[in-house]
Amino acid sequence: MNTAPNLTVIGEERPHHALGTPAIEVLSAEKIYSNGTRALLPVNLTINQGEFVTLLGPSGCGKSTLLKMIAGLVEPSDGKLMLWRKDSREKAQVPLSFVFQEATLMPWSNVHNNVRLPLDIAGVPRAEANTRVSEALELVGLGKFAKVLPRELSGGMQMRVSIARGLVTRPKLLLMDEPFGALDEITRNRLDSDLLRLWREQGLTVVFVTHSIHEAVFLSQRVIMMAARPGRVVEDIAINEPFPRDEDFRVSPTFARYARQLQDSLLQASQSGMES
Ligand code: ADP
């Protein structure tokens, strides 16, 4: 006899890890750099554990600044941030990784040793570190490339190494600053799909910076739209579409509708910026 509870699932399959518990709370955090540049007006934003959120906007709207504030790499001039409900100034040791646009690999060191670097810095014993590096390389599909030097790899593969280096510390939070911006479109699309798989499999919280509307629609559960002059958050747009998202999604009318919505929002935001 089937004793399963009577579940009704309407519409999307919810990611199992999206339970609505805050991972990141940005509380009136703003940034004026020491040279007087106002990079961000006060931002209020909550990102839940397990969410995939994109920061989208034109150059100079403060996307990187906000991401670096979340990472603790930039101090807010006013306001504060909480990570996993603890004041980020307490350096609460939430395991997070930051992936930059450049893969920034050590050219003299093979793929395995490049990925092992954060574990070496953290003093993880050699045998355990090696096991974790192998796991991380498998996750990004580079299991067979451990002994290869970075220059022997394509740009997309180098970025996979960078992502493996981000995952090897088993972070809860992955912060990505235009990681695929320098790649050709086909490679970027493939890495977008791989990233979504990793996000779901690993139960990560991801904050992803891009200025590509299409990338934002494909990846995100939520898009935080930002505008420049001065940098600020202008809109929080849900992309209420199920996962997994595949290549058919990219060419669907729904996708086009979201892209149009973001395009309009971006245009409106940039116009209001010029008037102010
Ligand atoms: P985005 O990532 O959206 O391009 P940024 O956060 O890099 O935006 O920059 C926002 C604004 O802050 C820009 O005007 C930029 O020139 C300025 N800015 C960024 N970093 C610094 C810094 N270290 N010192 C002074 N100004 C900065």
Assess contact for 69 and 33: CB atoms under 8 A: no
Structural domains in the chain (count): 2
Whether 259 shows a pLDDT value over 70: the answer reads: yes
Same domain, 89 and 41: yes
- Atom from ligand 1 closest to the CA of residue 31: 12
Contact partners, residue 59, CB within 8 Å, separation at least 6 = 211, 228
Average per-residue pLDDT for the chain: 89
What pLDDT, on a 0 to 100 scale, did the predictor assign at position 16? 41
The pTM assigned to this predicted structure is 0.90
What pLDDT, on a 0 to 100 scale, did the predictor assign at position 257? 97
18 pLDDT band (50/70/90 cuts)? very low
Q: What is the dihedral of CA 46, 122, 160, 150, to 10 degrees?
A: 150
Ligand 1 centroid distance, CA of 55 (Å)? 14
Does residue 77 lie in a domain region? Answer: yes
Lowest-confidence region among 111-115, 167-171, 205-209? 167-171
Does residue 100 lie in a domain region? Answer: no
CATH of the domain at 65: 3.40.50.300
- How large is the average pLDDT for residues 184-208? 93
Assess contact for 133 and 115: CB atoms under 8 A: yes
Domain boundary among 144, 169, 194: 169
For ligand 1, atom 11, the nearest C-alpha belongs to: 39
Contact partners, residue 136, CB within 8 Å, separation at least 6 = 115, 164, 165, 167, 168
Burial of 262: CB neighbours in 10 Å, binned 0-12, 13-18, 19+: buried
Same domain, 249 and 165: no
In angstroms and rounded to an integer, the radius of gyration of the C-alpha atoms of the chain is 19
Ligand 1 centroid distance, CA of 241 (Å)? 32
89 pLDDT band (50/70/90 cuts)? confident
Whether 178 shows a pLDDT value over 60: the answer reads: yes
Same domain, 150 and 187: no
- How large is the average pLDDT for residues 92-105? 86
Does residue 276 lie in a domain region? Answer: no
Same domain, 136 and 56: no
What pLDDT, on a 0 to 100 scale, did the predictor assign at position 269? 78
Assess contact for 212 and 224: CB atoms under 8 A: no
| Tokens 């990004």 sit on residue | 140
Domain that holds residue 82: 6-94+172-271
Ligand 1 centroid distance, CA of 10 (Å)? 43
Does residue 234 lie in a domain region? Answer: yes
Pocket-forming residues, ligand 1, beta carbon under 6 Å: 33, 35, 37, 39, 57, 59-65, 231
Domain boundary among 169, 200, 223: 169
pLDDT in tens, 35-51: 999 999 999 999 999 99
For ligand 1, atom 15, the nearest C-alpha belongs to: 60
What pLDDT, on a 0 to 100 scale, did the predictor assign at position 111? 97
Same domain, 82 and 22: yes
What pLDDT, on a 0 to 100 scale, did the predictor assign at position 177? 95
Domain boundary among 126, 154, 169: 169
What pLDDT, on a 0 to 100 scale, did the predictor assign at position 3? 37
Structure tokens at 218: 């494909």
Does residue 102 lie in a domain region? Answer: no
Same domain, 165 and 212: no
Does residue 83 lie in a domain region? Answer: yes
- Atom from ligand 1 closest to the CA of residue 55: 3
For ligand 1, atom 24, the nearest C-alpha belongs to: 33
Does residue 29 lie in a domain region? Answer: yes
275 pLDDT band (50/70/90 cuts)? very low
Same domain, 90 and 178: yes
- Atom from ligand 1 closest to the CA of residue 37: 26
For ligand 1, atom 12, the nearest C-alpha belongs to: 39
Does residue 216 lie in a domain region? Answer: yes
Ligand 1 centroid distance, CA of 43 (Å)? 15
Q: Taken in order 254, 256, 260, 263, is the CA torsion positive or negative?
A: positive
| Tokens 């490339």 sit on residue | 145
Ligand 1 centroid distance, CA of 213 (Å)? 20
273 pLDDT band (50/70/90 cuts)? low
Same domain, 84 and 37: yes
Structure tokens at 263: 């395009």
Whether 126 shows a pLDDT value over 50: the answer reads: yes
